[in-house]
Amino acid sequence: MKNKLIELVDLTKNFDDQQVLRGINLDIYENEFLTLLGPSGCGKTTTLRIIAGFEEPSSGQVLFNGIEISKLPPYKREVNTVFQKYALFPHLNVAENIAFGLNLKKMDKSVIAQKVERMLKMVGLSGFENRDVTLLSGGQQQRVAIARALVNEPKVLLLDEPLGALDAKIRKAMQVELKKIQREVGITFIYVTHDQEEALSMSDTVVVMNNGEIQQIGTPTDIYNEPENRFVASFIGESNIIEGTMIKDFLVEFDGNRFECVDKGFPENEPIEVVLRPEDLDIVSPEEAKITGTVRNITFKGVHYEILIETENRTYTVHTTDYAEVGRKVGLKLGPEDIHVMWKMGTY
Amino acid sequence: MKQYKHLLKPYIIWAAVLIVIPLILIALYAFTEEGNEVLTLSFTFDNFRKFAEATYVNVILKSFRLGLVTTVICLAAGYPLAFIISRSPERVQGLLILLVTIPEWINMLLRTYAWMNLLSDNGIINQLLGLLGIDPVTMMYTDFSVILGLVCNFMPFMVIPIYTSLSKMDHSLIEAAYDLGANRFQTFWKVIWKLSMPGVVNGIMMVFLLSISTFVIPKLLGGGQYMLIGNLIESQFISVGDWNFGAAISLILAVIILIFMHFMKKMDSQDD
Ligand SMILES: Nc1ncnc2c1ncn2[C@@H]1O[C@H](COP(=O)(O)OP(=O)(O)O)[C@@H](O)[C@H]1O
Ligand SMILES: [Mg+2]
């Protein structure tokens, strides 16, 4: 097992009378790409700022290598930040911006020049040393900001929606590049985003937050395939969420039918919620399935069709490459592994 | 845009009448002899030669020394003040700026008379000192009273531009400096001070220009024999009646000011 680097213990934060963080417990490991994911206002930035040292928690602890640091000022922490709007110093050129931290350490000029050059090469900006940072494009400024932080060789890099201001195409390219850089420097990245696709494609660990609380911690696959509650299921990808009852281990009932499933460990007859991912549902002839309904709408989405099927109890969303004309009677087939049972919100 | 252009015309005429024509007249006076009629101008450099005399050069040196001292004091006191205002809660900021500028709403003469009341030999300050058993101190008609008057009058012109550049500074730049390992002191010198340079330069220019060209404050707080350039020009026009010499001094002052502004602007753009 990797070494634990940062531990957040029962962290809370109040602004005036508003509680913004409600008891955050999180372990962050060495060399991990961890993403805080959640809707705007859920407390991601506040969590990051507490780790960086710009905010003090109202209660709880921040441990770094086992040592409590929540009172330590930012300039004494082995952590660097890439700010959302880059925050490059407008009075300094590219090289001077990157050398800012090294100059403070009174490092040798030739060593600094070497390190700056190496950083510029890594972020793909060789030869930009003397450029005016205010004249660079958004993507270039972003790279300078990353270089300026990484040149200090921090143990952890904090990134607050670093790609938020870039357009879609550059975003995609930067996602790949950031992941590459993280592997190359081999340090922990704590990444904040509200974009679930970004979180799933880049991270080792995703922390889903809502309303100042952690909803689920897991690998991208876990989070997607086994959401722990309705919030996670609906925030990550599209899903059909249905209230039902867990009859006993491996048997769940919803909409008047019983289905075999792979979930266990719930009390008998526990009210639960079931997630059915649209791409897991198969359209078959009505005789072959327990759930039957009528095709109400079909939309071509590029790779697949999105089909809305109206049944007695609800309308299901299905993603499939097969065509089905509107008005046709169809059945919906579910295998045991397509059914994900979750605790109802508020009962876990 | 184009159809609005003719709206500018009245202003151009206005500016021409009130600024350009007087300037031409000043130049004309400065380079001509006394008693000229418009038709029989006789040009001369005598007015400028006269200025080279020691007494007048001393007046200019004294003015600059005083302007410099005033500017330095205004900067030393005004920067921290502007800094504190820019760091206070948003609601308080407006109020504090109002407090800084309120004195400017009161007529300068009135304010200066108030200072005279405070500083004179049997003025309020000396009376208070007397109550404490301290001998009266002469404050009126000294460099002290003049500088005090200048500093108090021109302080807002230093505070406001510095405050403006500090308050529009992106706070994340300061956080970035902390984040990269700069302590409070280093963050101030390497980021905040550097980024507030435009405000500092503007403040220095305003205070310096205002204080070397003023004549009311030195006259009232410095007494009749306290001569600065402003007083010299005033006396040439009002009491001596040598308009040609007065115009020449004005021109010299204007040129010096232009050179000074040029250097300050250069300093500003270098720092950017
Ligand atoms: N300095 C502050 N003062 C008061 N409220 C704040 C402050 N910073 C953040 N908040 C509030 O805290 C909540 C969480 O903010 P934030 O951590 O920025 O969320 P996120 O980054 O997830 O969008 C928001 O409701 C926001 O308005
Ligand atoms: Mg945020």
How sure is the predictor about B36, in pLDDT bands with cuts at 50, 70 and 90?
A: low
* Residue A296 contacts residue A220 (beta carbons within 8 Å): no
- State in Å: Cα A316 to ligand 1 middle: 36
The mean pLDDT of B179-189, rounded to a whole number, is 95
* Per-run averaged pLDDT (10 residues), chain A, 348 residues: 89 94 96 96 96 96 95 94 93 96 94 95 93 93 95 96 86 91 94 94 96 96 90 89 93 92 91 92 91 93 92 92 91 91 73
Which chain A residues are Cβ-neighbours of B195 within 8 angstroms?
A: 90-91
Exposure string over B24-48, b if 16+ CB within 10 A, otherwise e: eebeebbbbeeeeeeeeeeebeebe
- CA dist B144 and B150 (Å) reads 10
How sure is the predictor about B272, in pLDDT bands with cuts at 50, 70 and 90?
A: very low
Q: What confidence score (pLDDT) does residue A348 get?
A: 46
CB contact under 8 A, B178 and A75: yes
Domain with CATH 2.40.50.140 in chain A: 239-343
Pocket of ligand 1 contains residue A43 by CB under 6 Å: yes
Percent of chain B with pLDDT over 90: 38
Q: What confidence score (pLDDT) does residue B1 get?
A: 56
Is the domain A239-343 a CATH 2.40.50.140 member? yes
A127 Ramachandran zone, left/alpha/beta (phi>0; psi -120 to 50) = left
> Measuring CA to CA, how many Å separate A250 from each of A259, A265, B268?
8, 9, 75
Å from A23 to nearest chain B CA?
25
Q: What is the average pLDDT score of chain B?
A: 88
What ranges do the domains of chain B cover?
Answer: 55-240
Pocket of ligand 1 contains residue A46 by CB under 6 Å: yes
Q: What confidence score (pLDDT) does residue A346 get?
A: 62
Indicate if ipTM > 0.90. Answer: no
Q: With 0-12 CB in 10 A as exposed, 13-18 as middle and 19+ as buried, what is B101?
A: middle
- CA dist B76 and A320 (Å) reads 73
- CA dist A151 and A119 (Å) reads 6
Report, in this order, helix, strand and coil percent for chain B, each rounded to 5.
80, 0, 20
Query: What class has domain B55-240?
Result: mainly alpha
Q: What confidence score (pLDDT) does residue B189 get?
A: 95
> Measuring CA to CA, how many Å separate A135 from each of A139, A141, B176?
12, 9, 19
Domain with CATH 3.40.50.300 in chain A: 4-230
- Find the chain B residues whose C-beta atoms sit closer than 8 A to any C-beta of A: 170, 172-173, 175-183, 186, 190-191, 194-195, 197, 271-272
How sure is the predictor about B92, in pLDDT bands with cuts at 50, 70 and 90?
A: very high
Of residues B100, B20, B71, the one with CA closest to residue B209:
B71
Which region among A132-136, B39-43, B210-214, B256-260 has the lowest average model confidence (pLDDT)? B39-43
Percent of chain B with pLDDT over 70: 96
* Residue B67 contacts residue B214 (beta carbons within 8 Å): no
3-state secondary structure at position A271: strand
pLDDT in tens, B228-262: 888 888 888 888 888 889 899 999 988 988 998 88
pLDDT in tens, B6-27: 888 888 888 888 888 888 888 8
Structure tokens at A192: 């904040």
Is the domain A4-230 a CATH 3.40.50.300 member? yes
Which residues make Cβ contacts (< 8 Å) with residue B178, sequence separation at least 6?
A53, A54, A73, A74, A75, B187
Residue with tokens 């097969």: A322
Q: What confidence score (pLDDT) does residue B31 get?
A: 87
Q: What is the pairing mode between strands A4-15 and A18-29?
A: antiparallel
The mean pLDDT of B122-150, rounded to a whole number, is 87
Q: What confidence score (pLDDT) does residue A130 get?
A: 94
Which chain B residues are Cβ-neighbours of A89 within 8 angstroms?
A: 173, 176-177, 191
How sure is the predictor about B39, in pLDDT bands with cuts at 50, 70 and 90?
A: low
Q: What confidence score (pLDDT) does residue A293 get?
A: 93
CB contact under 8 A, A83 and B271: no
Q: What confidence score (pLDDT) does residue B38 get?
A: 63
Of residues B195, B178, B271, the one with CA closest to residue A83:
B178
Q: What confidence score (pLDDT) does residue B89 get?
A: 93
Of residues B136, B103, B143, the one with CA closest to residue B120:
B136
* Residue B212 contacts residue B132 (beta carbons within 8 Å): no
Q: B78 forms bridges with which residues in the sheet? A: none
* Residue A61 contacts residue A10 (beta carbons within 8 Å): yes
A132 Ramachandran zone, left/alpha/beta (phi>0; psi -120 to 50) = beta
* Residue A38 contacts residue A235 (beta carbons within 8 Å): yes
- State in Å: Cα A193 to ligand 1 middle: 14
How sure is the predictor about B52, in pLDDT bands with cuts at 50, 70 and 90?
A: confident
- State in Å: Cα A192 to ligand 2 middle: 7
Which residue from B minimizes the CA distance to A96? B190
CB contact under 8 A, A101 and B172: no
* Residue A164 contacts residue A133 (beta carbons within 8 Å): no
**Which of A12, A18, A19, A20 has most ligand 1 atoms within 8 Å of CB, for mutation?**
A20
